[in-house]
A and B are shown apart, each in its own frame.
Chain A
Amino acid sequence: AQKVTQAQTEISVVEKEDVTLDCVYETRDTTYYLFWYKQPPSGELVFLIRRNSFDEQNEISGRYSWNFQKSTSSFNFTITASQVVDSAVYFCALSRYNQGGKLIFGQGTELSVKP
């Protein structure tokens, strides 16, 4: 069975702190895709990153970075020097190759960045 676990339900940090959001996934597939989405208070889920199972190279985009480790089935997300605008719910998700494109979401982590 496929499953995504985000063990951190809520995280609260002070502005300029670094914060890491954990994501652990389960799948027996060899080809799959991992995603992170951000859901601000407005409600819309915003795509942040996609990674396929054959690409373990870490990625950095501005203050955001992602650490994909197949050995531990983890795809963690780090925000450096957090800002108040980073406050949102963040979802990690998994999709299986050639299985209809359906995304399996984790429970979400609510990040609160205080000034």
Chain B
Amino acid sequence: ETGVTQTPRHLVMGMTNKKSLKCEQHLGHNAMYWYKQSAKKPLELMFVYNFKEQTENNSVPSRFSPECPNSSHLFLHLHTLQPEDSALYLCASSQDKNGGYGYTFGSGTRLTVV
């Protein structure tokens, strides 16, 4: 499988649930990212990982907990979310830290918190 794969595609969860989003890339990229895209709002960068190390946390609430066990996999663990956390969560990977190659995106997980 090529590209960036995100699972699940859709998720409905209650505010007391715990769930995880998964992102996987087989492109040999070294950097991975989580973005949040709410309706009618721009893409918000949440977390950045380079070579499995978190290099950026954009003031994300602790109810979102990322995990990067290796350069190919990225998780976003969710617990006690709020309805305003409903959004499209996009994962991306990139080839380098120099900025020249841009990102390859997954199809996203559409999250609804009820």
A95 to B100, Cβ gap below 8 A? Answer: yes
A33 to B42, Cβ gap below 8 A? Answer: no
Question: What is the chain B residue whose CB lies nearest that of A32?
Answer: B99
Q: Mark A28-70, 1 if CB is under 8 A from B, else 0.
A: 0000110101000011111100101000000000000000000
Q: Mark A53-97, 1 if CB is under 8 A from B, else 0.
A: 000000000000000000000000000000000000001010111
Q: Out of A37, A99, A107, which one reaches B99, CB within 8 Å?
A: A99
Say which size band chain A's interface belongs to: 20 to 34
Chain B residues with Cβ below 8 Å from A91 are 43
Q: Out of B42, B56, B101, which one reaches A102, CB within 8 Å?
A: B56
The answer to whether B31 has its CB under 8 Å from any CB of chain A is yes
B100 to A50, Cβ gap below 8 A? Answer: yes
Residues of B that sit less than 8 Å from A by CB: 31, 33, 42-43, 45, 48, 50, 55-56, 88, 90, 92, 94, 96-108, 110
Residues of A that sit less than 8 Å from B by CB: 32-33, 35, 37, 42-47, 50, 52, 91, 93, 95-103, 105-108
Top-8 shortest CB links A-B? A95-B99, A45-B105, A43-B108, A44-B107, A107-B42, A105-B43, A101-B94, A101-B99
